[in-house]
Amino acid sequence: MEQIVAKFDPDIVHITGPSDVGQLGTLIAYRMRIPLAASWHTNVHEYAEMRSSSWLGLLPRSVQAGAGRAIREVSLHATLRFYHIAQVLFAPNRELIELIEKGTGKPCYPMGRGVDTELFHPRKRERKDDAFVVGFVGRLSVEKNIRDLVAIEQHLVRAGLKNYRFVVVGQGAEEPWLRANMQQAEFTGVLRGEELAKAYAGMDVLAFPSHTDTYGNVVLEAFASGVPAVVTNHGGPRFIVRAGETGFVTTDLEDFCNAVLGLAHNPDELAAMRVAARACAMTHSWDTVFEAVYGAYEYGLRAGVSAGKKIRSRGGLGFGATQALNETR
């Protein structure tokens, strides 16, 4: 593997987490003395706690919460130890930036996401009916709070809404439970490309009840398709949604359900949010994202040099950090 990397001759190695590939990249960067950048994309510590819920339920109630908290804290400590290895750190929202800086003692830079506004576009809307369509896109897994979709549907039904349906895009372990408990839901499986774009455009609102997502790419894709989003006040998506303009940021499940229902009953507000969501997505270009990343590479590596860290000298960084690295010769 090192021979392949040497042939590619990278100026920096950028990993996206403590996966097996991330660990391999870290080892290669260390052995070849190549600067390492690491970006935080998954709240591994929260996933660990939530995915432990099935066997934590076997413990006495008096210790369940404490055991879950211990799993989360140990996982977070281990993850931060791993990220501390890198010279340059990135995170997708300010909450995580603060967490990483506190846990590693190193500066962390923002790394957002871009969206393809040509692929995801309101013109892809093909449906002709007037049903209110609630969409979800993502893994059908416990950490996405996916079972909240059932509560949302029940809330719509109790309010007397009949002309509605859910479109659930994705797959995962929770799909059989959802199929058994939802009345009017279409399960598309995993979609990509044009089929995914058409699915988004056919929605009226994206319901994304996850508490653990670090950013929320699906929210941007929905916005680009002219679809507002309802999200929770936990995790990254709340930093994307402009409350009352491109969707709603909700405090609890009841608030979430009421926000979805409110859009079903207020077509004028929905229409305004569709326009605002599209306009918001147009400001999220990949060029802007990567210019910021390249700037952080340069700034972070210069900081590493000034701190006296040994970094292998390179012959020409496309993002302008050549001088910082040449100073180590």
Task: Output the domain CATH number for residue 53.
Answer: 3.40.50
For residue 200, is pLDDT > 80? yes
| 156 & 304 share domain | no
- 252, 135: one domain: yes
Kindly state whether residues 103 and 207 are assigned to the same domain.
Answer: no
State what percent of residues in the chain have pLDDT above 90: 63
**Residue 36: what residue type?**
L
Matching residue, tokens 């090192």 = 2
Find how far residue 107's CA is from the centre of its chain.
Answer: 21
Whose structure tokens read 């809307």? 125
Residues 306 and 270 in one domain: no
Share of the chain residues as helix, strand and coil, in percent rounded to the nearest 5: 50, 15, 35
* pLDDT on residue 53: 67
Q: Same structural domain for residues 32 and 59?
A: yes
As for how many domains the chain has, the answer is 2
Same structural domain, 156 and 218: yes
Helix (H, G, I), strand (E, B) or coil at 58: coil
Indicate the pLDDT class of residue 49, thresholds 50, 70 and 90.
low
Classify 12 as helix, strand or coil: coil
Residue 310: which domain range? 2-114+286-326
pLDDT at 50: 66
Specify the pTM: 0.78
Which string of DSSP letters, residue by residue, matches 231-259? Answer: EESSSGGGGT--BTTTEEEESSHHHHHHH
Question: Among positive and negative, which fits the CA dihedral 271, 276, 282, 288?
Answer: negative
Q: Identity (one letter) of the amino acid at 285?
A: S
